[in-house]
Amino acid sequence: MTASSVRVGLVYPELLGTYGDRGNAVVLVERCRRRGIDAELVEVTAGTPLPASLDVYLFGGGEDDAQVMAAAGMRSGAATIASARDAGAAVFAVCAGVQLLGTTYEAGDGDILDGLGLLDLETRAGEGRLIGECLVTPARTTGLPVLTGFENHGGRTTLGPGVAPLGRVTVGHGNGVGGVDGVLADHVLGTYLHGPVLPRNPALADHLLGWVVGTDRLPPLDDPLVDALRTERLADAMLTGFAARRRDWHLNRG
């Protein structure tokens, strides 16, 4: 963390922000400020070199063409991201962002392209899209509760040996391989959950901030509206029978 403030970097928001993932950056900044921690949101527009001075690097989701465009700039900044992480910065990636962190991913036209190589994972296109509410149960050692989010992607991400997932999927698909979602490594956290995911799961936001400010126990915040949202989304994800089919019909009809 810099001496003056927590710098939350939103990387290429015009390319990687399909499902409101900007909200993740807003939540991190706001949760810092509510605790008296100075924080600022830094937008890194496409075509701009990635700065080495960020405390959090946020990569959102994006459509195929946008993902390909974002990848070139991100690959050129791979060494910067790796060095910043080694120095204590956190990397948080959602959907396409997760795919770009790996060694390779399959573009919409079938070409296999290089990722950043930050983690040993690869993504290939699958049959059909994975759409709907998703619940993920992180490993008990993380101290995180069940996570709720919305997924909409066609990629299937395989983690390499020794690479841990964020958690196991109990509803939905996640990575689409092995019954798990995302990835969890040293100061790197990735997930297929949109929503945006951090407004839905404030404990996950605080987990990331804990890496940056150097504590496992941030002072709790009173969040009745957030708690109500979590309760609603958890209940919706666990619908079964006709109610679940009606929900899924609404999700898939467009």
| Each residue's pLDDT tens digit, 102-117 | 999 998 788 899 999 9
- Confidence at residue 110, expressed as pLDDT on a 0 to 100 scale: 87
| Of 123 and 62, more confident | 123
Q: Give Cα separations from 33 to 27, 40, 154, 202 (angstroms).
A: 10, 9, 37, 14
Task: Please state the domain extents for the chain.
Answer: 6-252
CA 26 to mean position of chain CA atoms: 14
Across 37-46, 63-72, 212-221, the highest mean pLDDT is recorded for: 37-46
Cβ-based neighbours of 244, under 8 Å, separated by 6 or more: none
pLDDT averaged over every residue in the chain: 91
68: pLDDT strictly greater than 80: yes
Task: Return the CA Rg of the chain.
Answer: 17
| Each residue's pLDDT tens digit, 81-93 | 999 999 999 999 9
- Confidence at residue 2, expressed as pLDDT on a 0 to 100 scale: 46
CATH number of 6-252: 3.40.50.880
E strand or H helix at 187, and its extent?
Answer: none
Nearest to 192 by CA among 219, 172, 164, 221: 172
Q: What is the mean pLDDT of residues 125-136?
A: 93
Residues annotated as catalytic are 95, 194
242: pLDDT strictly greater than 50: no
- Separation of alpha carbons 132 and 125, rounded Å: 18
Q: What is the mean pLDDT of residues 67-94?
A: 94
Q: What is the mean pLDDT of residues 113-133?
A: 94
**Residues in a beta bridge with 181:** 167
49: pLDDT strictly greater than 70: yes
Task: Say what percent of the chain tops pLDDT 90.
Answer: 77
Nearest to 128 by CA among 153, 109, 104: 153
Cβ-based neighbours of 119, under 8 Å, separated by 6 or more: 101, 102, 103, 160, 163, 183, 185, 188, 190
